[in-house]
Amino acid sequence: MITGKYPNLRLRRNRKESWTRRLVQENTLSPNDFILPIFLIDGSNKKESISTMPGVFRYTINRISQIVDKAIKKGIPMVALFPKTKNTLKNNLGTESLNENNLVCRAIVEIKKRYKNQIGIMCDVALDPYTSHGHDGLIKSNQIINDETIEVLINQSLLQAEMGCDVIAPSDMMDGRIGKIRKALDNSNFKNTQILSYAAKYASSFYGPFRDAVGSKSSLKGDKKTYQMDFRNSDEAIREVALDIKEGADMVMVKPGMPYLDIIKSIKEKFRIPVLAYQVSGEYSLLEAAINKKLIQRNAVYESLVSFKRAGANAIVSYYADRIDKILE
């Protein structure tokens, strides 16, 4: 591989000026690389700040065009919708997930009505925004029950597809759900609805600010370690992805992002499929806190986003997506 040695070979020569650095650049970022998460709240005319995530807001449906407009103008290909469900609508079974007038459904309808196919919509499939216990699945005798949960997830997926959701994104980590959801979508004439599987999703401490943003933090009983992956493992991520591809996933997600660049890289190398990375809320808040305290420069954001591309990610879910033009400047 190495074709010479010092003093004939000086790697610094290619770095001597900006133009040559640009010439040999291996990875770049563009707005096409981003997915913008949007938090939804009930009510009207509200844009609410989130104390744990400075710079990120929750929007009421009638204000959602403000942020979607921005995403389209900046060339972001897709938004991801996350509801903050009122506590009074939460219960043990997460039945609000199947209400066709829930926040996510209303938001899908509103965005599709206004913007048609100018931008893609992705929706999480999982019960945690709707359950009083904050878990992604149903609970019986203190266990998250896999197969019964899938039955609800199928209905949640069908409902979202019916409303106009383009990309169904199961983030619940139940076994076998991708195949069952794919089959149900196909049987209901949603053959073109894509599935983005959160295939390698780790039980992580980096989700804290998100749980705060969607209001599941205080309600969550225990942890999610019986369904989300152990962060000590990487072979297991390969197995998860292999299964989900067989079951019909169009794309897979690795989550969290920066602490899991090795996972992104090995999945990309092994399967050569679209791999997405989720720069999660804890990563965002950590960067923002350090920047605001002037411990690091704002350019650290760009650097951290490029690392996903270097690892092999096709796109990045990031809370910075709405400000991507400033970051790329």
The catalytic residues are 201, 255
| Calpha distance 24→190 (Å, rounded) | 44
Q: How many residues form the binding site for ligand PBG (CB under 6 A)?
A: 10
* Part in contact with ligand PBG (CB under 6 A); list of ranges 71-79, 100-108, 207-215, 231-239: 207-215
Q: How far is CA 329 from CA 113, 261, 299, 317, in A?
A: 33, 24, 10, 19
Instruction: Establish if 156 lies at the interface with ligand PBG (CB under 6 A).
Output: no
Give the CB-nearest residue to ligand PBG.
Answer: 210
Q: How far is the CB of 162 from ligand PBG (least distance, A)?
A: 21
Residue found by looking up tokens 């998250």 in the block:
144
* Part in contact with ligand PBG (CB under 6 A); list of ranges 99-107, 123-131, 157-165, 181-189: 123-131
Instruction: Establish if 128 lies at the interface with ligand PBG (CB under 6 A).
Output: yes
Q: How far is the CB of 52 from ligand PBG (least distance, A)?
A: 10
- Rounded to 5 degrees, what angle do the CA atoms 145, 146, 152 make? 95
| Calpha distance 240→172 (Å, rounded) | 13
Instruction: Establish if 33 lies at the interface with ligand PBG (CB under 6 A).
Output: no
- Rounded to 5 degrees, what angle do the CA atoms 11, 16, 21 make? 85
Q: How far is the CB of 231 from ligand PBG (least distance, A)?
A: 13
**Of 33, 96, 136, 247, which lies in the binding site for ligand PBG, with binding defined by CB under 6 A?**
136
Q: Could you write out the DSSP letters of every residue in 152-197?
A: HHHHHHHHHHHHT-SEEEE-S--TTHHHHHHHHHHHTT-TT-EEEE
DSSP three-state, residue 80: strand
Instruction: Establish if 171 lies at the interface with ligand PBG (CB under 6 A).
Output: yes
- Rounded to 5 degrees, what angle do the CA atoms 52, 92, 162 make? 80
Instruction: Establish if 124 lies at the interface with ligand PBG (CB under 6 A).
Output: yes
Q: Binding pattern to ligand PBG, positions 243-282, x when CB under 6 A?
A: -------------------------------------xx-
Instruction: Establish if 126 lies at the interface with ligand PBG (CB under 6 A).
Output: yes
Q: Give Cβ neighbours of residue 217 (< 8 Å, ≥ 6 apart).
A: 134, 208, 211
Q: Considering only CA atoms, which of 156, 61, 76 is closest in space to residue 113?
A: 61
- Residue placing its CB nearer to ligand PBG in the complex, 85 or 171: 171
Please answer whether residues 130 and 88 qualify as being in contact, where contact means their C-beta atoms are separated by less than 8 angstroms: no
Q: How far is the CB of 45 from ligand PBG (least distance, A)?
A: 26
Instruction: Establish if 285 lies at the interface with ligand PBG (CB under 6 A).
Output: no
**Of 34, 59, 210, 320, which lies in the binding site for ligand PBG, with binding defined by CB under 6 A?**
210
Instruction: Establish if 157 lies at the interface with ligand PBG (CB under 6 A).
Output: no
- Give me 327's structure tokens: 């970051």
Determine the straight-line distance between the first and last CA of the chain, rounded to whole angstroms.
Answer: 34
Instruction: Establish if 211 lies at the interface with ligand PBG (CB under 6 A).
Output: yes
- The footprint of ligand PBG (CB under 6 A) covers 124, 126, 128, 136, 171, 207, 210-211, 280-281
